[in-house]
Amino acid sequence: MEKILEGVRVLELGQVLAGPFAGAILADLGAEVVKIERVEGGDDARHMGPAFRQGDALNFHIFNRGKKSVAIDLKSAEGLAAFDRLAAEADIFIHNARPGVTKALGIDGQTLCNRYPRLIYCEISAFGHTGPMSMLPGYEPLVQAFSGLSSINGGPEDPPMRTGASVCDQGSGMWAVIGALALLQRRHLTGKGGVVSTSLLETALVWTGQKADAYANEGRLPDRHRSGHPGFVPYESFDTADAPLLICCGNDRLFAKLARELGRSDWIDDERFASNRARLANKTSLLAELAPLLRGQSRAKWLDRFRSAGVPCAPVHTVPEAIAHPQVQALGMLQAVPGENFRLTALPLSIDGERPAHRSVAPRLGEHNVKYGVPQTVGSGHV
């Protein structure tokens, strides 16, 4: 596909996930992404797990495809000079360095944007750019716990638990990209760059926004439903004769279709179940009648019947089941890495009907120093 961001140069000082994910998005969209790494060891993600390819862990390959690697010692004068040369030619700078690191190095947002007014500076932190905890580092599970996100996962009797995906890290990378693209448009109009600040905590608070807003405005603490929903019944996973099936009746019309297909048309006129609000008030009674019916047939049979009747439903897949499904295969989300014998998940969007493709394998540490005019070894040490 056309490289939408061709001609845009991104400088990334990223570690592990949030910053590198932002860089990976921009790389897939066609930007030239130059990843700055420590001379000793590089991005910690290179060592997050066993070696997968080129001595680096799979996690590193996932979030650093399509980039160039330049190894620089930012604690040396030579390293800072090399960084400054790269920053002078960059359109976007992204970092998720520990709080205080960029300030100590003299490459914080205010300093760099004063020096290069067209630069779009994106900073990702754990707890935000202001406030009493702004200088604290943090990780995904810490922020999920702190934000209340862990408290809304699972069922009523479960302890607080983190989500299986790193939604705060990857979400923060997405917000950084959104902010960078917004400032690219402003710069197109005014010639001025600026500073984008986002954090894992702010991202987590957005993901919990429905629950927090209900508490802030109505005093309602969130119920915990596992697969269920606080506003609709039935709207959750049920056991069938062989495997779980999720059913979503988001209105009374859909519930009526479900009732007819189950041979329980009497539910439609039952005052306990006739409306969604009535079903919410009588959820326990309804599920006590519904669950045994669903256990009477296999998931495949219910899927056929419900889909034919127009009842929204889906199998609760394992990961292997999901990626093997014809719908997922048709979307082409798993894409080959050029020149390699493995595949990685692609961006979840298409432009003019075409999904952005992986451009190259993740770089070796310092592989592109010479390309960008940086000696192969600049000082010794690390950020």
- Tell me the HSE value of 381 on the side-chain side, using a 13 A CA sphere: 10
pLDDT tens for residues 322-370? 999 999 999 999 999 999 999 999 999 999 999 999 999 999 999 999 9
Pairing status of strand 68-71 against strand 32-37: parallel
Q: State pTM to two decimals.
A: 0.91
Write out 338-361 in H/E/C secondary structure. CCCCCEEECCCCCECCECCCCCCC
Beta sheet of 244-248, edge-to-edge order: 235-239, 244-248, 313-315
Residue from 377, 361, 381, 376 nearest 63 by CA: 361
Q: How far is CA 301 from CA 192, 239, 257, 306, 314, in A?
A: 60, 13, 16, 9, 12
Q: Taking CA 317 as the corner, what is the angle to CA 311 and CA 323, rounded to the nearest 5 degrees?
A: 115
pLDDT of residue 381: 39
Question: Could you tell me the sign of the dihedral formed by the alpha carbons of 65, 378, 72, 112, in that order?
Answer: negative
Instruction: State residue 273 phi and psi, 5-degree precision.
Output: -125, 0
Residues with pLDDT less than 50, the chain:
378-383
Residue from 14, 87, 54 nearest 365 by CA: 54
Pairing status of strand 120-125 against strand 51-53: unpaired
User: What is the C-alpha to C-alpha distance for residues 55 and 303, in angstroms, rounded to an integer?
Assistant: 45
Residue from 87, 90, 88, 35 nearest 64 by CA: 35
From 229, 317, 368, 382, active-site residue: 229
Q: Are residues 61 and 161 in contact, defined by beta-carbon separation less than 8 angstroms?
A: no
pLDDT of residue 380: 39
Would you put residue 366 in left (φ > 0), alpha (ψ -120 to 50) or beta? left
pLDDT of residue 277: 96
pLDDT of residue 1: 56
Q: Which two tokens stand for residue 144?
A: 């999920």
pLDDT of residue 382: 39
For residue 135, which amino acid is it?
A: M
Write out the chain in H/E/C secondary structure. CCCCCCCCEEEEECCCCHHHHHHHHHHHCCCEEEEEECCCCCCHHHHCCCEEECCEEHHHHHHHCCCEEEECCCCCHHHHHHHHHHHHCCCEEEECCCCCHHHHHCCCHHHHHHHCCCCEEEEEECCCCCCCCCCCCCCHHHHHHHHCCHHHCCCCCCCCCCCCCCHHHHHHHHHHHHHHHHHHHHHHHHCCCEEEEEEHHHHHHHHCHHHHHHHHHHCCCCCCCCCCCCCCCCEEEEECCCCEEEEECCCHHHHHHHHHHCCCCHHHHCCCCCCHHHHHHCHHHHHHHHHHHHCCCCHHHHHHHHHHHCCCEEECCCHHHHHHCHHHHHHCCEEECCCCCCEEECCCCCECCECCCCCCCCCCCCCCCHHHCCCCCCCCCCC
Q: In the annotation, is 229 catalytic? A: yes
